[in-house]
Amino acid sequence: MSSTWLITGATSGFGRLVAERALAGGAHVIAVGRRRDRLAELAELAELAELAELAELAESAPHGQVTPVALDLTAPDAQDVLAEAVRSAGGLDVLVNNAGYGLFGAVEQVDADAARAIFDTNVLANLTVLRATLPALRAARGRILQTSSLIGQFAWPSSGLYSASKGAVELISEALAHELAPTGVKVTIIEPGTFATEFSTSLQVVAPSDVYLPTVGQFLTDFAALPPQAFGDPDTVADAIMAVAELDEPPLRLAVGADAVEHIRASLHSRLAELDRWERFPRVPAGEPA
């Protein structure tokens, strides 16, 4: 894999798994994250060729190189830092725009600072990365993988602000795909279901007040009670990202995980049913069934 990848959120979760796979394939990975220690670990893996599954294959196994970029993507200079990293690398073939975190709580109870912060990271920083990388991606007719979520397509009680941030990423990405179509750049939105990553370690939860205990409280209680087997293997998502990046004609959206497919399908059916039921409103004559 003689290509250059830029991966945000590369220090943990899906980002780290994708970075390891890209390195194992011989790519140059511009690894972006806040944690310098995790970035150093990734760079060391590349240097020592420890990504080879068997030690005796280490010399023959392809292995790439890492350019670690310790960066807060909400910082004022983030776009310039990323653009310079891409220039220094000589271009860019694949962007995995993956950084973000979760916030769960009743819409009313998420204060302005928390709401602003999640949009700063999950939406505005995503745009910062796109602005920094799109010139190089156009030149390479490259690929863009935008990490969303199954709940970027709909919302659960408690997920309103997080779902809104991922929904914004979904629609930005859809528009971007149309806008970039003549350039040859392909955009795919990755919609993972529930997987066993470090997502929960950065998850922020606003405890519900009494009025929201039957909805938000019940949902959070039920979610916390899920057994370990309810959480998928995150390798599945990393493998899907690697595979879709190679497709000549990738999908715009890719739901990963049986729960993602199930819940997104149910949401779409519900929306279509509601559209059909109310399409004549308010033109239905009085007394006639809607």
Catalytic residues: 148, 162, 166
> Which of 257, 264, 263, 205 has the alpha carbon at shortest distance from 231?
257
The angle formed by the CA atoms of residues 180, 238 and 25, to the nearest 5 degrees, is: 85
Tokens 């068997």 correspond to: 54
Sign of CA dihedral 54, 57, 58, 64: negative
Peptide bond into 282 cis (omega under 30): yes
> Which of 52, 43, 55, 47 has the alpha carbon at shortest distance from 19?
43
Q: How far apart are CA 108 and CA 189, in angstroms?
A: 29
In this structure, are residues 131 and 79 in contact, taking their beta carbons and an 8 Å threshold? yes
Task: State the SS3 of 229-284.
Answer: HHCECCHHHHHHHHHHHCCCCCCCEEEECHHHHHHHHHHHHHHHHHHHHHCCCCCC
